[in-house]
A and B are shown apart, each in its own frame.
Chain A
């Protein structure tokens, strides 16, 4: 084994894998915390919805689109000063999380909006006819009904974050991507490159599998 992968330092790989988990996990938590309310807000203020607010919706929608159209690599660089302000560093795991969150939140918010729109209007109507407030409709009816869609959205977002996190290796973000770039790409150590890519692939596969399982579990069909 070690003869095949002469350049591979397994301790480094292990540390990088952990860092990738921290980056993806940490940024996923913040993405959900920010993106879920944002998605709900997008949904509620949309056309023919409970809190229809055309001007507000259009503004919010525009901001989301702008953030989504900025290539992530640009966002990484542009965000550096802001990141330093928030975390004190633009390097390592901590430095990677703010740009990841900013990159993924608008994306996830859209997925949440779409998932909520998939809920049958009749459900909202039934809840209204019971005398539910808008907040109750969202918490007790819409979110539970949209849960499978939201979980699917979280899965897609998590996988996107894995590849974003790898990209953040470019600005010294740490993790498997960082290894791949520093050793595999810059020093032509193909074996390191292969190991990191295989590990990333396994992570993506596992995320997708778990996500699909959860979607099926919560679909109740």
Chain B
């Protein structure tokens, strides 16, 4: 659906070319939710804004629906942009227009819809995002979450195939974030819409994304299915994001465990395995004692996972390790 082929992007600052995105290759499949995570200044917005050519690439090929969009003329570009909706961190709604008029705007600009069509579509969209009763209000009269819902409705007005989200939930409180992410996930399911979302919060990625790319100083340093990257991050940057999202500090944890006797393992369960009574069974059968040092059980998109750091003392450690390795669980020997 979206393909970056050796795309790079530099900004001209005071006559010098400052690279923001180095040679980047990635493919976003039709209908998937693709996340990009990175620290401030990593180049996330740059990457996203290339997709609808708000920024022009300095080199490389950018395919959308198999078409090299860098070759489009201005009319072609406008048609392309109608196929790509976009929502923003600060919503970017027109304060001078009502909610309904904001949602109607892309259709009016397109100039190919009748008044009746626009009216019906606006009503349908506001219904979908749960704002039917707010249609005549102005954005200043809405809460942040409501504004972003208007933003989403507006982005969907011309029935786009792709939705770009630039830090769509970063200005919202956790609960509102949750409901907006839920809405995005539902829309992805219902409409088969391809979504590219950038964020600096691993939590947002974990909740809705299918795949994720980790961006660091203009380079993709890790990319893969969310469960893969989230549960087994390889690159230091990815690790930092994962630990941050769990309010843990990898270094600190290892410090804390220095005084814990025995062997330390990290067990990662994913899917149904999360609910098996593995720990108790192995302990009973091999005579090891265990204590749980750290742990979390949650969901990645809709699949449950668990991650436990445990200490094993006494009994038959070798046998216990063998049992864990044989089971449907990923084992990492910390010490």
Residues of A in contact with B (beta carbons under 8 Å apart): 120, 122-123, 125-133, 136, 140-141, 144-145, 147, 218, 220-221
B109 close to A144 (CB less than 8 A): no
Q: Which secondary structure dominates where chain A touches chain B?
A: helix
A130 close to B82 (CB less than 8 A): yes
Q: Which A-chain residue is minimally distant from B102 (CB atoms)?
A: A126
**Mind listing 8 A-B residue pairs with CB under 8 Å?**
A127-B109, A129-B85, A129-B164, A130-B158, A132-B109, A133-B78, A144-B94, A147-B96
A131 close to B81 (CB less than 8 A): yes
Q: In the complex, what distance in Å separates the CA atom of A114 from the CA atom of B137?
A: 28
* Interface status of B138 (Cβ within 8 A of chain A): yes
Interface digits, B91-116 against A, CB 8 Å rule (1 contact, 0 not)?
A: 01111110000000110111000000
A129 close to B54 (CB less than 8 A): yes
B94 close to A129 (CB less than 8 A): no
Instruction: With both chains docked as a complex, state the minimum distance between the C-beta of A44 and any C-beta of chain B, in angstroms.
Output: 16
Residues of B in contact with A (beta carbons under 8 Å apart): 52, 54, 74, 77-82, 84-86, 88, 90, 92-97, 105-106, 108-110, 138-140, 158, 164
Known contacts A129-B85, A129-B86, A145-B94; 12 additional CB pairs below 8 A are A125-B92, A126-B92, A126-B93, A128-B54, A130-B81, A131-B80, A131-B81, A131-B109, A131-B110, A133-B74, A140-B109, A221-B138
B82 close to A131 (CB less than 8 A): yes
A136 close to B54 (CB less than 8 A): no
Q: Which of A122, A130, A133 contacts B106 (CB 8 A)?
A: A130
Question: Would A218 and B96 be within 8 Å (CB), given that A130-B81, A131-B78, A131-B81 are in contact?
Answer: yes
Q: Which 6 A-B pairs have the closest CB atoms?
A: A131-B81, A122-B92, A131-B78, A126-B92, A129-B86, A130-B106
A131 close to B140 (CB less than 8 A): no
Q: In the complex, what distance in Å separates the CA atom of A140 from the CA atom of B105?
A: 8
Q: Which B-chain residue is minimally distant from A220 (CB atoms)?
A: B138
Q: Which of B82, B92, B140 contacts A120 (CB 8 A)?
A: B92
Q: Which A-chain residue is minimally distant from B80 (CB atoms)?
A: A131
Instruction: With both chains docked as a complex, state the minimum distance between the C-beta of A107 and any C-beta of chain B, in angstroms.
Output: 24
A129 close to B140 (CB less than 8 A): no
Q: In the complex, what distance in Å separates the CA atom of A125 from the CA atom of B95?
A: 15
**CB neighbours of A130 from chain B (8 A):** 81-82, 105-106, 109-110, 158
Q: In the complex, what distance in Å separates the CA atom of A147 from the CA atom of B138?
A: 15
B86 close to A131 (CB less than 8 A): no
Q: Which of B74, B90, B158, B164 contacts A122 (CB 8 A)?
A: B90
**CB neighbours of A221 from chain B (8 A):** 95, 138, 140
**CB neighbours of B106 from chain A (8 A):** 130-131
**CB neighbours of A220 from chain B (8 A):** 95-96, 138-140
Instruction: With both chains docked as a complex, state the minimum distance between the C-beta of B227 and any C-beta of chain A, in angstroms.
Output: 31
Instruction: With both chains docked as a complex, state the minimum distance between the C-beta of B87 and any C-beta of chain A, in angstroms.
Output: 9
**CB neighbours of A136 from chain B (8 A):** 109
